[in-house]
Amino acid sequence: MTGGLESFAMPEAGLPSRPAGSDPEAPLLAELRRGDEAAFEKLVRKEGARLLSVARRFLRNEEDARDAVQEAFLSAYRSIGKFEGGSRLSTWLHRIAVNACLMRLRSRQRRPEDSIEELLPTFAEDGHQVAHPTPEWEGSAEELLARRETCETVRGAIDRLPNGYREILLLRDIEEISTEEAARIVGITENAVKIRLHRARQALRGLLEPQFRKAPAW
C-alpha cells in the first residue's frame, strides 16, 4: 500500500448508486481481495478521517493517533483475505482501529492511577445506599462531550479514570460497541464489562460534579 495518511483529509465522493438489494461494498471488497493497491487508496480516503477521530478519542495525542490508524490500515491490508463479510467493511475496520489504539495504550509506560472508590456511592450492611458523594447533575457524558464549552473538561475527566475503566467507558459509551464485543476485545467476561461500565460512569459523575451539578432550588 503506497498511500499515506495525508490522503484521507477529505472523504471520497460517494460511489455510484447500485441496484436495490445489491451490496454497495461488494465491488470495492472484490478489488481489495485481489490486492488492488488503488482500491486500498480508495479505502483510506473513504474511512481514514473517521478512524482518525476514533484514535484521537482513545489516545489524545495526534502523532499516536495517526500511527494507530496507519497500523490499522496495514493490518487490514494484510488480513483482507480473512474478512468473511459478516459485517460491514467499515465496522471491521473500526474494530481493527480500536484494537490498535488499545495495544498502543497498553504499551505506554503506566502512570500512577487514582482510586475511584471515593467517587462511588456507599452502602449500609442491609444493602441500602447511605450516600452518594455527589448530587445529581444534568446531562450524560455523550451529551456533555457534544457541548463545545465542556468537551475538554469531560475528556480530561475520562483521562483520569484508571485504564481498565476508561477503556470500557470509551468502548461502550463513546464508540457504542456492544457488551459482547467489548468483552471480546478487552478479554474479560460480559458481566465484568457491565460492572466496570457502571463503576466508570459513577466515577465520571464524581469527577464532573463540581462543574456540572444542578443549581440549588431557592
Helices then strands, each counted (H, E), the chain: 9, 2
Q: How many CB atoms lie within 10 A of CB 110?
A: 7
Per-residue pLDDT tens digits for 135-184 = 455 555 566 565 556 777 888 888 888 888 999 999 999 899 999 999 99
Q: Where are the domains of the chain?
A: 5-107, 117-212
Q: pTM score, two decimals?
A: 0.69
For residue 141, what pLDDT is reported? 59
Which residues lie below 8 Å from residue 188, measured CB to CB, with a gap of 6+? 196
- 127 vs 201, more confident: 201
- CATH topology assigned to domain 5-107: Rna Polymerase Sigma Factor; Chain: A (1.10.1740)
| CATH among 2.60.40.420, 2.60.40.10, 1.10.10.10, 3.40.50.720 for 117-212 | 1.10.10.10
